[in-house]
């Protein structure tokens, strides 16, 4: 009798439930969306009850569309979006209807400054690998609760993460894993535990932090209520799972030294697996403990990759949207066809993709995007290709930062929307000077990582080696030497332009602030 695995990919936009067989093949998937709420500037909140309902609905929908006997579904694992803050009281009751998610930036100087007076910010980064802006990390959101909602804060028993809340709903057990704990802001990466000095500097009770277990540890079986609600047997074993970044790395084969992957979504990052965290005070790679014991997933990113290309589509390609709809095609395929007609370098046209502002790789977060070198000889084909190249070059800059810190293999797996474009895969190969690999897993990387954790944790798999077989290679694009030489000449110009754009961005932001002030008087 074959054994089957449920994997949950609890993302920012919704939950995807996927059913896998014991060989790691995905048989079916079901997605249920939920909302994010923005009650104030910087507040990004979701309802944990919405997460649970999405788990219930996606599971039931999955079961309705498969013929697998439920008693053969033996285990589940979950990948969850990071830096969530879910307060639970001593009766294990949710203390807030809505909770801060990873992108919530409500933390204020009164939460940050006292902490960094005691712990230099550079030391904090070295200990934790927390390379995002500090206020995004969980401990500072907890301090915001202390300062703004003391009636909740003083009744907190535990503060857990997104996927840990779902595990609690499934099993009644409260715990987290090393990968998720590594984003809490008081976790010591190298020692794989909470750091007493950081906890003391924050002034929080260490008992509110959940115990940490391996990602493959079986937390327990389904409670009777959970089994009834989601339609699975009480015998189902639930493993701890992991943070989305690390689950995605596992699913994308980045679970051995030097392996990397490129996630190509609205934002985009390059992550590498290594036995040591990759830290740099200037470029600030952000690091999570891997779901694979003893390993780390370190990444650099640009904030506006797919979202910049979507802007190009919405502003410059409205006719292509209509054409794609009438021909039942993907508009991005039509855009790729036009980009193919423009030469390498887009006739000297550059595009900086900082439409959502800058990352820590940029000179200033006020940087904004631009076309550079535009003249009357350029066509829409060139603008589309320049956008593809600019996003790729921005990621090459991020990749080069990682290359200064570790050795990488000569190939990279590409996952996400942009990986579907043959034209864009060739551009990435030429810009990175690496083989770009597209596999059959593609959009299922986080789900596959979660399924693999369940499989190893319950003994269905002896280790993670099967991941390589599950990722069936669909395409390998090799770099073109001549094109790579051209891009190597463009990259310094791109970086020089980025410096100017950062300075201009600061100047423009001051003008906008002044204009808003005048308008509001």
pLDDT digits (tens, 9 = 90+) for 139-157: 999 999 999 999 999 999 9
The pLDDT of residue 402 is above 70: yes
pLDDT of 512:
59
pLDDT by residue (tens digit) across 99-137? Answer: 999 999 999 999 999 999 999 999 999 999 999 989 999
What pLDDT, in 10s, does the model give residues 273-309?
999 999 999 889 999 999 999 999 999 988 889 889 9
Q: Provide the mean pLDDT of the chain.
A: 94
Question: Do 9 and 153 belong to one domain?
Answer: yes
Residue 304 domain-assigned (yes or no) = yes
Residue 370: give its domain's CATH number: 3.30.420.40
Domain residues for the domain of 100 are: 4-245
25 & 150 share domain: yes
The answer on pLDDT for 171 being more than 50 is yes
Report which secondary-structure segment, H or E, holds 49. Answer: helix 48-64
Q: For the packed helices 422-432 and 380-403, what is the interaxial angle rounded to 10 degrees?
A: 40
Does 219 have pLDDT greater than 80? yes
Identify whether residues 486 and 394 lie together within a single domain.
yes
Q: Which 3 state secondary structure label does DSSP give 132? A: coil
Distance CA 250, CA 461 (A): 14
How many angstroms separate the Cα of 23 from the Cα of each of 132, 273, 322, 395, 469?
Answer: 36, 24, 42, 34, 9
User: How large is the average pLDDT for residues 318-338?
Assistant: 96
Q: Is the pLDDT of residue 22 over 70?
A: yes
Is residue 450 in some structural domain? no
Residue 519 has pLDDT above 80, yes or no: no
Q: Residue 513: which pLDDT band, with cuts at 50, 70 and 90?
A: low
Q: What is the mean pLDDT of residues 408-423?
A: 91
In the numeric block, which tokens belong to residue 240? 């701890």
Do 127 and 205 belong to one domain? Answer: yes
User: What is the tally of helices (H) and strands (E) in the chain?
Assistant: 18, 24
Per the domain annotation, does 464 fall within a domain?
A: no
Query: Is residue 462 in a domain?
Result: no
Is 136 part of any domain? yes
**pLDDT above 70 covers what percent of the chain?**
98
User: What pLDDT does 518 receive?
Assistant: 46
The answer as to whether 348 is a domain residue is yes
224 and 360, same domain (yes or no): no
Dist CA 396 CA 404 (whole Å): 12
Whole-angstrom distance, CA of residue 118 vs CA of residue 112: 10
- Say what the pLDDT of residue 190 is: 96
Instruction: Summarize pLDDT for 52-62 with one digit per residue, the tens.
Output: 999 999 999 99
More confident residue, 367 or 493: 493
In the DSSP assignment, the letter for residue 268 is E
- Mark which of 245, 276, 292 sits at the end of a domain: 245
* DSSP state at residue 173: -
The phi and psi torsions of 331 (rounded to 5 degrees) equal -60, -30
Same domain? For 312 and 191 the reply is no
Q: What is the 3-state secondary structure (H, E, C) of 133-154?
A: CHHHCHHHHHHHHHHHCHHHHC
Output the six-digit token pair for 134: 């500090």
Query: Stretch 190-197: mean pLDDT, rounded?
Result: 98
Listed in sequence order, the residues at least 6 apart from 420 whose beta carbon sits closer than 8 Å to its beta carbon are 330, 332, 442
Q: Does 396 map to a domain?
A: yes
- Tell me, yes or no, whether 197 and 271 share the same domain: no
What's the longest Cα–Cα distance across the chain? 74
Instruction: Specify the number of domains making up the chain.
Output: 2
Residue 324 in this model has a pLDDT that exceeds 70: yes
Alpha-carbon distance of 369 to 358, in angstroms, equals: 9
Question: For residue 397, what pLDDT band results from cuts at 50, 70 and 90?
Answer: very high
**Do 229 and 261 belong to one domain?**
no
Kindly state whether residues 62 and 202 are assigned to the same domain: yes
DSSP 451-499: HHHHHHHTTSSSSSTHHHHHS-EEEEEPPPHHHHHHHHHHHHHHHHHHH
Q: Which two tokens stand for residue 61?
A: 């929908």
105 close to 34: Cβ distance less than 8 angstroms: no
Shared-domain flag, residues 137 and 213: yes
Q: Which of 201, 218, 245 is the last residue of a domain?
A: 245
- Name the band, by pLDDT with cuts 50, 70 and 90, for residue 359: confident
Last residue of a domain, one of 245, 264, 280: 245
Q: Which pLDDT does position 358 carry in this prediction? A: 77
The reply to whether 227 and 288 lie within a common domain is no
The pLDDT of 449-458, averaged and rounded, is 98
DSSP-derived secondary structure for 201-261: HHT--GGGSPPEE-TT-EEEEPPHHHHHHHT--TT-EEE--EEHHHHHHHHTT--STT-EE
Please name the residues in contact with 380: beta carbons below 8 A apart, sequence gap of 6 or more: 316, 317, 338
Percent of the chain with pLDDT over 90: 88
Q: Is residue 251 part of a domain?
A: no
Q: What is the model's pLDDT at position 521? A: 43
- 308 and 238 both lie in a single domain: no
- Per-residue model confidence as pLDDT tens digits over 228-248: 999 999 999 999 999 999 999
Across 184-199, average pLDDT = 98
Report the pLDDT value the prediction gives residue 253, as an integer from 0 to 100: 95
HSE (side-chain half, CA atoms, 13 Å) at 106: 25
């Amino acid at each position: 009798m074959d054994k089957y695995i449920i994997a949950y990919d609890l993302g920012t936009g919704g939950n995807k439930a996927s059913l896998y067989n014991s060989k790691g093949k995905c048989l079916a998937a079901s997605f249920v969306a939920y909302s994010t709420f923005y009650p104030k500037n910087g507040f990004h909140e979701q309802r944990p009850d919405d997460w649970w309902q999405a788990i219930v609905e996606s599971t039931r929908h999955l079961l309705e569309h498969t013929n697998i006997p439920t008693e053969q579904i033996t285990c589940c694992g979950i990948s969850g979006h990071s830096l969530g803050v879910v307060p639970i009281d001593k009766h294990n009751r949710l203390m807030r209807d809505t909770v801060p998610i990873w992108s919530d930036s409500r933390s204020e100087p009164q939460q940050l400054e006292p902490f960094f007076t005691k712990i230099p910010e550079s030391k904090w980064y070295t200990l934790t690998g927390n390379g995002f802006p500090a206020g995004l990390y969980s401990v500072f959101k907890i301090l915001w609760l202390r300062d703004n909602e003391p009636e909740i804060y003083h009744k907190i028993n535990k503060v857990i993460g997104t996927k840990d809340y779902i595990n609690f709903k499934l099993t009644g057990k409260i715990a987290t894993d090393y990968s998720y704990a590594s984003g809490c802001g008081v976790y010591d990466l190298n020692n794989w535990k909470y750091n007493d000095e950081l906890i003391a500097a924050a002034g929080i009770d260490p008992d509110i932090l959940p115990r940490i277990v391996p990602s493959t540890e079986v937390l327990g079986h389904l409670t009777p209520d959970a089994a009834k609600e989601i339609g699975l047997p009480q015998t189902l074993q639930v493993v701890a799972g992991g943070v989305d970044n690390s689950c995605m790395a596992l699913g994308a084969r980045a679970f051995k030294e030097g392996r990397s992957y490129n996630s190509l979504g609205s934002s985009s990052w390059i992550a590498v697996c290594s036995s040591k965290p990759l830290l740099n005070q200037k470029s600030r790679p952000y690091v999570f403990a891997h779901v694979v014991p003893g390993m780390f997933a370190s990444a650099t990113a640009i904030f506006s990759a797919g979202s910049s290309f979507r802007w190009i589509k919405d502003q410059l390609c409205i006719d292509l949207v209509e054409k794609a709809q009438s021909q039942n095609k993907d508009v991005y395929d039509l855009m790729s066809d036009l980009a193919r007609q423009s030469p390498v370098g887009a006739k000297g046209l550059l595009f900086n993709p900082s439409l959502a502002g800058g990352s820590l790789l940029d000179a200033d977060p006020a940087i904004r995007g631009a076309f550079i070198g535009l003249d009357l000889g350029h066509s829409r084909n060139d603008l589309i290709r320049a956008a593809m190249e600019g996003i790729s070059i921005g990621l090459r800059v991020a990749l080069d930062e990682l290359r200064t810190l570790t050795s990488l293999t000569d190939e990279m797996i590409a996952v996400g929307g942009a990986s579907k474009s043959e034209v864009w895969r060739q551009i990435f190969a030429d810009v990175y000077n690496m083989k770009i690999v597209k596999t059959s897993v593609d959009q299922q990387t986080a789900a596959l990582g979660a399924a693999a954790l369940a499989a190893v944790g319950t003994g269905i798999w002896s280790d993670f080696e099967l991941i390589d077989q599950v990722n069936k290679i669909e395409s390998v694009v090799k770099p073109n030497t001549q094109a790579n030489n051209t891009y190597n000449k463009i990259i310094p110009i791109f970086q020089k332009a980025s410096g100017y754009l950062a300075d201009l961005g600061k100047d423009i932001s001051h003008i906008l602030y002044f204009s808003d002030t005048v308008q509001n008087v």
